[in-house]
Amino acid sequence: MINFCTLFDSNYLSRGLALYHSLCKVCPSFHLYIVAFNKESYQYLTEARLPFITPIALSEFEDEALLKVKPTRSAAEYCWTTTPSVLLYCINKYQLPSCTYIDADMIFYQDPKVLLDEMPATDSILITEHRYSKDYDQAAISGKYCVQFMYFKNNEDGITALTWWRERCLEWCYARAEDGKFGDQKYLDDWTTRFKGVHVLQHRGGGVAPWNVQQFDIAKENNSIILVDKKSGKHYPLVFYHFHGVKFYTDNLVSCCAPVYDISSVAKEWIYIPYFKKLKKVEAQLKLQGISFNTNGAKNPAPGKLHVFLEYAKERLVLWKIGNIRPWQLKLFSFSKQYHFYKLDLLNTETNGPTDRP
């Protein structure tokens, strides 16, 4: 049995359910504890009575320390602040022998047990690196490790690290770089020396995301997605993909991620478009169940091409300033690799290329 925990509100409901469905498909034995960050998401999860899920009301989860800092944090910052508290709450409340935190915007393609099985029996904590592609390496700012898939045993080593992390996040957790800190994840940078029993995930099929997918060619074998390392030629089954930056818009468009990331047409066809279709299917099912609130977070119309290009140029300049790229590497914008918008109403047809939005 693998015990997972995550958190999201109604704006991420379709993503959270897609995550859950992927676990149902590939993980034979799991339980998912979900801290629902608003009443709509909690009410749905409670009434749906989905197997292998325990919904947790925000009011039940929050303690005095969290409520004290909540007014000082943005919505995203508060979610980051609570991550170690979610793990501690689930471990303590449900007397779990271990618990794995997972971000709600992920999909599992293989049983995650393969990732946990690589840990030595003597270790108690598993963390995952960003493994940035060279151009996008912001480890000095955002941290070497990504809070996306983190495992903790309910023992002295695991609880010591979690308690320390919670205290640090209560003290400071903001969406800015300051004094060697950034959000909740820059705190992880020295964990391999600060704490005992910390294992860094080695499997290249875990932690794939828009900032590192460029390192692979993508193939299919027996309906499984295979990652082929461009440098070593080694093959890895894709275990999970982190869909960081996926954004829905009120004019029926969706984007894969920030335009600075090069995303190949193959990655879009075999990873992103099936994800968009899954989210669209989940939303349709929710509407049939009478759900009328927004379940994908769309708030504004999609930006035009000029705005997207300017955002790309701004982000490339940031990468140049921090030394990741040289002036001659400020390459031209490529609509096939940087323009990541799709019309949702075309995703059920054969027309799966980027929309020609004016």
What digits encode the pLDDT tens for the residues 79-98? 999 999 999 999 999 999 99
Pick the CATH number of 2-200 from 3.30.300.30, 3.90.550.10, 3.40.50.720, 3.40.50.1780: 3.90.550.10
Which pLDDT value is given to residue 132? Answer: 96
The helix (H) or strand (E) run that includes residue 100 is strand 98-102
Average pLDDT over residues 100-122: 98
Who has greater pLDDT, 326 or 349?
Answer: 326
The predicted-structure confidence for 128-182, as pLDDT tens digits, reads as follows 999 999 989 989 999 999 999 999 999 999 999 999 999 999 999 999 999 999 9
The pLDDT of residue 328 is above 60? no
- Give the rounded distance of the alpha carbon of 262 from its chain centre: 18
pLDDT category of residue 333 using cuts at 50, 70 and 90 = low
Domain range list for the chain = 2-200, 245-346
183: left (phi over 0), alpha (psi -120 to 50) or beta: left
Tell whether pTM > 0.85. Answer: yes
| Residue in the structure block whose two tokens are 């704490």 | 195
pLDDT category of residue 332 using cuts at 50, 70 and 90 = low
Work out the end-to-end distance of the chain between its first and last CA atoms, rounded to an integer number of angstroms: 50
Average pLDDT over residues 318-343: 67
Average pLDDT over residues 248-259: 91
What percent of the chain is predicted at pLDDT more than 70? Answer: 92
Which pLDDT value is given to residue 319? Answer: 72
The predicted-structure confidence for 209-240, as pLDDT tens digits, reads as follows 999 999 999 999 988 999 999 999 999 999 99
| Secondary structure (3-state) at 25 | helix
